[in-house]
Every structure is written in C-alpha cells, then in structure tokens.
Amino acid sequence: MICLGIEGTAHSIGVGIIENNRRKCIVLSNIIKIYRPKQGGIHPREAANHHAIHLADLIKESINVAGVDFNKIDLISFSQGPGLGPCLRTAATAARALSLSLKKPIMGVNHCVAHLEIGRGTLDECKDPVLLYTSGANTQVIAFAEGKYRVFGETLDIGIGNCLDKFGRKIGLEFPCGPKIEKLAEKGNQYLELPYSIKGMDIAFSGLLTASEQYYQKNKRLEDICFSIQETTFAALTEITERAMAHTDKDEVLLGGGVASNKRLRDMVHKMAEDRGARFFVPSKDLCIDNGAMIAWLGILMYNNGIRLKVEESYIDQRFRTDMVDVSWRD
C-alpha cells in the first residue's frame, strides 16, 4: 500500500509518501517547507496562506521524488489536529480534493501520535517507547498504556521550542531560534540560577523565560544565559521522561519534534537511558520535525486496521488530544 500524507498543523507544510511493504515502513519522499514570519511569532492566517501557495507544488515534487504515479497512491492521509485552525483547514482541504479526484480513501490522523509511530515504523529496535515530544507548540511525554497513547506529562504553559523562540526573539535572533541558542550555549560556562518547575510529571517554562529575560536586561553574558536555559529546561524534560519510564516500566525512550535536533538534549536523555539500562532512539531530522511522511505512515496503520473516514466527516480538530485516539493497531 502507498499513502500520501499531508502535514499542516503549524509552521510547516509537508507532503510525504510512504510505501508499506510486508509491514515495513519505506519512506519514498518527504518534502517540507517552513513558513518563517519576517518578524514576531506565527500568524495563523499568514501561515495558512503560505501553505496554500506552496501545497500544489509540494505534492507534485513529492510524487516526482517518490517516482510513483498518482494512480499508484492507495490512500490520502492528513493531520487532523491538534494545531492552528487555518493551517489544519488548508491541509485538510487539499487532502479532500486529492481523495475525491483520485477516488481514493481519506484518513485523518493525530499529529502527536504520528510523531511516535514514525519512530516505531522506521527504527527497527524501537517497539514500545516512551516518547519525549518537544516541538514549538508541544511538549509532551507520551507512552502506550491500556489501548491508548497516554500523556504522562506535559507543559502547563508554553512548549519548549516556543520558550526558546520567545527568548531568541527578545535578543534579536531570527526564527527558528533553537539552533542559534544551541550555538551560543556551547560557549557558555557559567550557570545562572533559573526556576526549575516540575509538578508531578508536568512542567512549566514561563517563569524561566521571564528570569532569563531579566538576566539579559542586566547584561549577563548571553552565552551563559543560553547555556543555563538549556541546562535547566533539558534537565527538567529528562527528569519527567525518566519518571514516566519508571512509572510505565518501559525500557525504551524515543525523541521527536524539532527540539530533538539539539545535541545537548539528546546527550542528556541518552545518558539517562544508559543509566537505566534502557535504549535510546531518535529518528532522522526530517522525520523528527513536522513532516508528511509520519502522517502517511499513521494513515496506513489505521487504514490497515479497518478504520475508515468519510470525506464529509473529515473535520479538523484543533484540540485533538493524544489520548482521544483508539490505538486499535497495537496489541
């Protein structure tokens, strides 16, 4: 079975094509284009316009790279939520148009679950991980328990990527700020005290963001502030992930989301896993960030499990929760 997946929850618009051959997940193409606001944060309508302008070309490019014909596509999948309404609607509209014109079934999938399933699908040994999903808007610790992907911990305010981007914007960096903060942090050597807020397995960043901005106003060395932000937030993320692993008794950890590109975060989680005798996994970068391939793969898993969606019922759901999905494709 071959599925074309369209991702469009926020900044990124992506079209990926996956072939499912003897239960294997083969990525035939995965084309991503990222909306970068000239200044300020993301404006949902402008992002949606960006996606609408580029989507047709991305679909063609994805088909070309995959080397398949439109008539070889068996299924169209799209990110149904959670995300920004105008962006989700753009992706869903394109998916419906393709489904109707190609006369192929459509599937709507949960974006957060897709981040986890692409890890299981493409990394051989990764079977039953705790996922630390860190992106711009989302920060969640997710694992499978009793038929659902449950959120064991999550941010109580903003996502970690958002926290980094907000601080970056304050100091004049361009979006996405995470990689630039990572570079600055490499040159930091003095730890500045920052609030470390964990409540159970949940986490919060806004106090830390305010405190970091105050250090900046007091002319503390930027490299040291960035170093301290990373050390504090990543240690807290590692801690809640470890708690979820202990709680669920799982011995695999998987990273996902744009912030998973960060070497310091990877090192901390990897070390924690090693200390517990657990295995550490991280998909390739283009499968970690928001992408169409993961949407296509989850579409295949659901379709092969007998799940069906009518075009007239293919609504988007901005608040689609991870634990609303009935994960019938797993034992």
158 is a contact residue toward ligand ATP (CB under 6 A) = no
Residues of span 170-209 touching ligand ATP by CB under 6 A: 176-179, 182
Among residues 13, 237, 254, 259, the one that binds ligand ATP under rule CB under 6 A: 259
Report which DSSP code applies to 156: S
Question: CA nearest 151: which of 162, 138, 160, 163?
Answer: 138
Based on CB atoms, which residue is closest to ligand ATP, 34 or 311? 34
- Contact string 75-94 vs ligand ATP (x = CB under 6 A): --------x-----------
**Residue 171: what residue type?**
I
Q: Which residues of 160-185 are buried (b: 16+ CB within 10 A; e: fewer)?
A: bbbbbbbbbbebebebbbbebbbebb
Task: Map tokens 């517990």 to a residue.
Answer: 276
Residues 6+ positions from 28 with CB-CB distance below 8 Å: 2, 17, 18, 19, 65, 66, 67, 68
154 is a contact residue toward Fe ion (CB under 5 A) = no
Question: CA nearest 291: which of 12, 1, 11?
Answer: 12
Q: How far is the CB of 7 from Fe ion (least distance, A)?
A: 8
80 is a contact residue toward Fe ion (CB under 5 A) = no
Terminal CA-CA length for the chain: 22
Tokens at 57, concatenated: 């070309």
Task: Map tokens 């404006």 to a residue.
Answer: 43
Residues of span 276-305 touching ligand ATP by CB under 6 A: 289-290
258 is a contact residue toward ligand ATP (CB under 6 A) = yes
Q: How far is the CB of 159 from ligand ATP (least distance, A)?
A: 6
238 is a contact residue toward Fe ion (CB under 5 A) = no
User: Helices 292-304 & 111-122, crossing angle to 10 degrees?
Assistant: 90
CA 216, 217, 219, 220 torsion-angle sign: negative
Q: How far is the CB of 318 from ligand ATP (least distance, A)?
A: 11
Query: Which option in ligand ATP, Fe ion, none does residue 86 bind, with CB closer than 5 to 8 A by kind?
Result: none
Among residues 165, 242, 252, 290, the one that binds Fe ion under rule CB under 5 A: 290
Residues of span 15-74 touching ligand ATP by CB under 6 A: none
Question: CA nearest 202: which of 236, 229, 231, 247?
Answer: 236
Q: How many residues bind Fe ion (CB under 5 A)?
A: 2
Residues of span 100-139 touching Fe ion by CB under 5 A: 135
User: Helices 263-276 & 222-248, crossing angle to 10 degrees?
Assistant: 30
Label residue 331 exposed, middle or buried (CB < 10 Å: 0-12, 13-18, 19+): exposed
Q: How far is the CB of 274 from Fe ion (least distance, A)?
A: 26
User: Helices 206-217 & 160-170, crossing angle to 10 degrees?
Assistant: 20
291 is a contact residue toward Fe ion (CB under 5 A) = no
Q: How far is the CB of 19 from Fe ion (least distance, A)?
A: 23
Based on CB atoms, which residue is closest to ligand ATP, 2 or 294? 294
Among residues 161, 283, 292, 299, the one that binds ligand ATP under rule CB under 6 A: 161
Positions that interact with Fe ion (CB under 5 A): 135, 290
Residues forming contacts to ligand ATP in the complex (CB under 6 A) are: 9-12, 83, 135-138, 159, 161, 164-165, 176-179, 182, 257-259, 261-262, 289-290
